[in-house]
Amino acid sequence: MVTSVEKSNTNISTLQRFLSIIRHGLLLFGLRNRLAKIGFDINPYYWVQEEFTECLEPVIKGDSSEYTLRYLDIDTVKLITDKGIDFEREQMIDGLKNGQLCIALEYKKDIAAFMFIDFNDFVFNDRLFKLKENEAYILNVWTFHPYRSKNLAAYLRYLSYQLLKSQGINVKYSSIQCFNKSSIKVINKLNSKRLKLYLSIVIFKKFYWNFCVRDYK
């Protein structure tokens, strides 16, 4: 049973959130998200192959044995994403209904971090991405504020690699916004490789442009 994530998350003040954004170098990332909410979504992002070469298990702050990997169902996702999450809640619920997997790190019955994994072809801002049987797409990675700066995002990603490997999936992709310095630091720790740079522009969710700016291959 989830007991305290929602309470802990909503106790974070606006000032604390702003200071956290500054501390982690996410000012441009935050501004981009604000513009997106009013209809101007300009999103330069990297198409990344995670763990391009095998990586070591990340070291976290604290005792890793106190964290448990667990699956989250739709009801639990609804509960923990009620407030304070940057991702669109209904899209996450629809993703679960369409076969996505949600896994999380649990600390003393409290969800500390979660992420989604997609195994099917998907469309991102009017661009189709196809996945093979041995490929998966990682998305919606989130660490709750009380658990940040503990390296949990990298640790959870690493555990997902091991889980996917046991299922015969050895290629993992993700899309990382160029302004999201925290996520870029995480994937760099995990021996990931940038494959392409895209620029997506969406105006009022009616007009879409999504094109490749650079191919790193």
Residues 34-84: tens digit of each pLDDT? 666 667 678 899 999 999 999 999 999 999 999 999 999 999 999 988 766
Task: Delimit the domains of the chain by residue range.
Answer: 5-215
Higher pLDDT, 18 or 124: 124
Q: 70-102, pLDDT tens digit by residue?
A: 999 999 999 988 766 766 788 899 999 999 999
Q: Identify each DSSP E strand in 72-206 by its residue range.
A: 101-107, 110-118, 122-124, 127-129, 135-143, 171-177, 193-203
Q: Any idea of the CA torsion for 132, 133, 135, 140, to the nearest 10 degrees?
A: 100
CA 21 – CA 8 distance, rounded (Å): 18
Q: Which residue reads 């198409």 in tokens?
A: 47
Please report which confidence band the pLDDT of residue 31 belongs to, taking 50, 70 and 90 as the band edges. low
C-alpha 208/C-alpha 127 separation (Å) is 9
- Point out which residues pair with 143 in neighbouring strands: 113
Helix (H, G, I), strand (E, B) or coil at 215: strand
As its CATH architecture, domain 5-215 has 3-Layer(aba) Sandwich (3.40)
Q: How many whole angstroms from its chain centre is CA 44?
A: 16
